Structures are given as structure tokens and as C-alpha cells.
């Protein structure tokens, strides 16, 4: 009731929720109380949360921020949603997002932009901007997000919350609407690393229905929260500390790293020489995969269908033309081009090779350090509309986050102070399956 009340009174000004499921949440809360009374409660039983509107929810509209799916009611729960339901977490509703998770500001959403709670003239980041804003405004204690190129970490940074993208394959993609399948990964967003660890305990785990799910033993992500940082080796990638980072962001990041020194960590320089190629490689790989994934939205099987189609071709053309927004169309066209005969080797294959080089850079860096740190985003939250006419400048918002997705590594963003009253995020990158360590490193700072 507390959180539903906050949503009702405050979300009008933020637009962080697309759908509110109050009745269901209250029913689930009563059920959680009963479970607790029977002594069957887990650590999150009865703790409400919100799901990004990219996760299918049985009987509840799932729009993925698009007109294409505005009337879509999923007939089943995503793997992630099932897990939280089984843990007894009432779902408050579904959070706003960039259309099909393509964006860095939440401005591509069919439902209109989300406002940043720290300054409602500014963006919350994206694509999980609704989840980040809702957590920041304490409309929910936590929310799920997804991160294909930075969509958990960048909005977490811009809204001053904690978010984690686990190692690729840790979190089930079953029922999570696909954007770029080899990069997409769900993860938790909350007020602290400790909360993220509790959420990760529920969220992570093998799912045989997702062909890239990793079959590894369940792990307690809270296990290393209290591990001292003495002797921790932190690597600062030279390439992340050059031009392009706003001075206020650089100052906050430096100060946070100074805190880590005080906590006993050893700080060294590392190099990720190919990281400058991550944005161009991503903008071949992600659109290529999206053009293939989004082919299913054809006006026939489900989702938006145009009025009075003349024939089959007209049905396809108009349903897709009217159902998708401009950014999604741009990606489908770029991706289709990069995959066409004659261009495949020059673009897609080349981008895949660059991707391997980027992963190799990290492998080498992790021979010398335990954690890599740097900024999450080059700037604090920008103004609504500031970058909407310039896709490339929007794409550069993810300059520090994308390499992590290309390599499949775990990454976090944690609040690290302010610049001109706006939150700054510190990014923590770990080696594969090192989430528990990463969460501990974040928790010790918090
Ligand atoms: N901003 C990036 C994009 O537009 C990343 C999005 C994401 O991680 N889903 O593709």
C-alpha cells in the first residue's frame, strides 16, 4: 500500500510506469503474509518490485515500449518473472522503457519519456529508465532491467541507483523480448549493492528454455559482501579516462577511487586498446540481431495490425511501418543492410572479429587486476530533447558500457557522488562469474 500510494501520487510527474497492477500486488502481498505466518517465507517474500515492460507477464499487458505491442497480453510469465513470483515478491507494475530497449534516454518509448526524479527536465537514461527512475523516487524498492549495451548501468548512473548486469547467460532470457540476443541480459536495479545481491539470488540460475543459459551451480551472491578490500587490485583503463568525460564526472569518479585506496585497494593502470571500437562494432552486431529478431512482428501472429490491408504485402508493410518508431526502423534497416549478401563479410563478420579482440583485451587486463573501474556514463543526466536529433551523440552515451556486453562480462553501476546536483555513477567491471566479488566491492564502498 505504501508503494502503490507513492506511485499514485508521484508517478504522474515521472511516467516511470506503463501499467500498474495494484490489485494483484495486494493479493500477492496477502499471500506473502500467509506464507510468512506458516514459516515458509524467504528473504524477499512480501517485498514488492516492478518489472521492466520487456519481461512477459501472464495476463498483464507487455508492450516493450512499442505501439507494436501496445495491445499484447502475454500468455505466460518470463523465466525471471516466474522466479520472483515463486519467491513471493508482489509485482507493483511494469516500467516504461525505450522502444524495444533501443535508446539511452527513454525518449523512444511509445508511452512518452520518463522524467529523471532529480530534475524532471532531464532524462533518466535508458533503456531501463522507468525502472531506474521508479527506484530513485522510491516508488518501488527494486526493479528488473535489461542491459544490451548499457541499459541497466547507464540509467542507474543517471538516476543515482545501483544496477548490475550479470555475466551473459546467468539470467534467463526466456520470455524477455529479444533485441540483440547475443548481448541481452537481465539484471537487478535497487538502492544498494546488498539489495542487488538478494535480488540476484532469485534472478540468476539455469533455464533450459533459453539456449544460452549457463548451467552452473546456484550461488549465494551475498556471500562476499563483507569481504575486506585490503589487497584488492583495481585496474583503471587508460582509454576510459581521456577526453569526452565531463569534468564533474571525472572529479566524482576520482574521489570514489580515492575512497577505494583508503579501504586498502591497490590501483593500477590497465589498457583496453580496442575499446574505442566497441561502439562501432556494437552498432553493427546489435542492429543485425535486432533486424532478425524483430522480423516476427509482421501484423499476423500478434501485436499491431494495420486497418484494412489490401493484400499480404500491404499488411506487412503498413503494420510494420505504423507499428515501429523511428529508432527501431533505423536499426532494422542498418541491420538488414549489414547482413545482406555482399556486405556480410565487410560489416557483420568484421564486427564479430572486433568483438573477439575486445574480449581479449579484458582477458589480458584481468591477468593483473581483480576489478576494473571507471565512469559509467560520460555525462550526468542530459536534458530531455537534447540528443534526440543526433543519434550518434545518443549512441556515445554508452561509450563506457558497451564493451562489457560485447565481452559478456558482469558490470555494475553504483552511485558515486554528484556533479551540479546530479548523480554520477561509478562503473565496476568483473571477470566472468565474479558477480559476488563485484557486489562485495560495491557494498564496501556503500
Ligand atoms: N543505448 C544502447 C542502444 O540503444 C543500449 C541499449 C540497451 O542496453 N538495451 O542500443
405 CA: nearest ligand 1 atom: 8
Size of the chain, expressed as the number of residues it contains: 446
How much is the pLDDT for 146? Answer: 98
Q: How far is the CA of 294 from the centre of ligand 1 (A)?
A: 15
Active-site annotation holder among 127, 278, 397, 413: 127
Q: How far is the CA of 53 from the centre of ligand 1 (A)?
A: 15
Active-site annotation holder among 104, 109, 131, 151: 151
How much is the pLDDT for 291? Answer: 98
For 433, left (φ over 0), alpha (ψ -120 to 50), or beta? left
d(CA 339, CA 289): 9
Q: Is 16 a catalytic residue?
A: no
Which residue puts its alpha carbon closest to atom 10 of ligand 1? 102
Which residue puts its alpha carbon closest to atom 5 of ligand 1? 149
How much is the pLDDT for 134? Answer: 99
ipTM of the complex: 0.97
Q: Which H or E run contains 22?
A: helix 22-37
How much is the pLDDT for 243? Answer: 81
How much is the pLDDT for 435? Answer: 98
Specify the pTM: 0.98
In order of their start, the domains of the chain are 2-203 (3.90.1300.10), 233-278+350-431 (no CATH)
Pocket perturbation via mutation, ligand 1, pick of 106, 145, 147, 150 by most ligand atoms within 8 A of CB: 150
Q: Which residues of the chain have pLDDT under 50?
A: none
Pocket perturbation via mutation, ligand 1, pick of 64, 100, 101 by most ligand atoms within 8 A of CB: 101
Q: How far is the CA of 398 from the centre of ligand 1 (A)?
A: 8
Q: Nearest-CA neighbor of 152 among 190, 182, 178? A: 190
DSSP string across 53-76: TTB-BTTBB--TTSGGGTT-B-SS
How much is the pLDDT for 56? Answer: 98
How much is the pLDDT for 242? Answer: 84
How much is the pLDDT for 107? Answer: 97
CA angle 272, 273, 279 (to 5 degrees): 85
180 CA: nearest ligand 1 atom: 9
Q: Is 128 a catalytic residue?
A: no
Sign, CA dihedral 402-406-411-412, equals positive
Contact 158, 116 (CB under 8 A): yes
Which residue bears the cell 583495481? Answer: 234
Q: Nearest-CA neighbor of 161 among 206, 116, 214? A: 116
How much is the pLDDT for 393? Answer: 87
283 CA: nearest ligand 1 atom: 10
Ligand 1 pocket list (CB less than 6 A) = 101-104, 127, 147-151, 179, 286, 398
How much is the pLDDT for 406? Answer: 98
- The DSSP bridge partners found for residue 61 are 73
How much is the pLDDT for 14? Answer: 98
Exposed e or buried b per residue across 86-102, where buried means at least 16 C-beta atoms within 10 angstroms of its C-beta: ebbbbbbbbbbbbbbbb
pLDDT (tens digit per residue) in 351-377: 999 999 999 999 999 999 999 999 999
Q: How far is the CA of 148 from the centre of ligand 1 (A)?
A: 6
Q: Is 353 a catalytic residue?
A: no
Q: Nearest-CA neighbor of 305 among 118, 85, 40, 69? A: 69
Q: How far is the CA of 434 from the centre of ligand 1 (A)?
A: 23
Active-site annotation holder among 52, 115, 165, 387: 52
Amino acid at each position: 500500500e505504501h508503494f502503490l500510494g507513492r506511485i499514485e501520487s508521484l508517478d504522474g510527474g515521472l511516467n516511470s510506469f506503463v501499467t500498474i497492477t495494484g490489485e494483484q500486488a495486494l493479493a500477492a502481498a496477502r499471500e506473502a503474509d500467509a506464507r510468512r505466518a506458516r514459516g515458509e517465507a524467504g528473504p524477499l517474500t512480501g517485498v514488492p518490485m516492478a518489472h521492466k515492460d520487456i519481461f512477459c507477464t501472464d495476463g498483464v499487458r507487455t508492450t516493450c515500449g512499442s505501439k507494436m505491442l501496445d495491445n499484447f497480453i502475454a500468455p505466460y510469465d518470463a523465466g525471471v518473472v516466474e522466479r520472483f513470483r515463486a519467491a513471493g515478491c508482489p509485482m507493483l507494475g511494469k516500467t516504461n522503457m525505450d522502444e524495444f530497449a533501443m535508446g539511452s534516454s527513454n525518449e523512444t518509448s511509445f508511452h512518452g519519456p520518463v522524467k529523471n526524479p532529480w530534475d524532471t527536465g532531464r532524462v533518466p537514461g535508458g533503456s531501463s529508465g522507468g525502472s531506474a527512475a521508479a527506484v530513485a523516487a522510491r516508488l518501488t524498492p527494486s526493479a528488473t532491467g535489461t542491459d544490451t549495451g548499457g541499459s541497466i548501468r547507464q540509467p542507474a548512473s543517471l538516476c543515482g541507483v545501483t544496477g548490475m548486469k550479470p555475466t551473459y547467460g546467468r539470467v534467463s532470457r526466456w520470455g524477455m523480448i529479444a533485441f540483440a540476443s547475443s548481448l541481452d541480459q537481465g539484471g537487478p536495479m535497487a538502492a544498494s549493492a546488498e539489495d542487488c545481491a538478494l535480488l540476484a539470488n532469485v534472478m540468476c540460475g539455469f533455464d533450459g528454455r533459453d539456449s544460452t543459459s549457463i548451467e552452473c551451480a546456484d550461488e549465494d551472491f551475498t556471500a562476499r559482501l563483507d569481504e575486506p578490500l585490503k589487497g584488492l587490485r583495481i585496474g583503471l583503463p587508460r582509454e576510459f579516462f581521456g577526453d569526452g568525460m565531463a569534468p564533474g564526472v571525472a572529479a566524482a569518479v576520482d574521489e570514489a577511487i580515492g575512497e577505494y585506496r583508503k579501504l586498502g585497494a591497490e590501483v593500477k593502470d590497465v589498457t583496453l586498446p580496442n575499446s574505442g571500437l566497441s561502439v562501432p562494432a556494437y552498432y553493427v552486431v546489435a542492429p543485425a540481431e535486432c533486424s532478425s529478431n524483430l522480423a516476427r512482428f509482421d501484423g499476423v501472429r500478434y501485436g499491431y495490425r494495420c486497418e484494412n490491408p489490401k493484400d499480404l504485402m500491404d499488411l506487412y508493410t503498413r503494420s510494420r511501418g505504423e507499428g515501429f518508431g523511428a529508432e527501431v526502423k533505423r536499426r532494422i534497416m542498418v541491420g538488414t543492410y549489414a547482413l545482406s549478401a555482399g556486405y556480410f563479410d565487410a560489416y557483420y563478420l568484421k564486427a564479430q572479429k572486433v568483438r573477439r579482440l575486445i574480449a581479449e583485451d579484458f582477458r589480458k587486463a584481468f591477468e593483473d587486476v581483480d576489478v576494473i573501474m571507471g565512469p559509467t556514463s560520460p555525462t550526468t543526466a542530459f536534458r530531455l530533447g537534447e540528443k534526440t536529433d543526433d543519434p550518434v551523440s545518443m549512441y556515445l552515451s554508452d561509450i563506457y558500457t558497451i564493451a562489457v556486453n560485447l565481452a559478456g562480462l558482469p558490470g555494475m553501476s553504483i552511485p558515486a557522488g554528484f556533479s551540479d546536483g546530479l548523480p554520477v555513477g561509478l562503473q565496476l567491471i568483473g571477470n566472468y562469474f565474479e558477480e559476488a566479488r563485484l557486489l562485495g566491492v560495491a557494498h564496501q564502498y556503500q
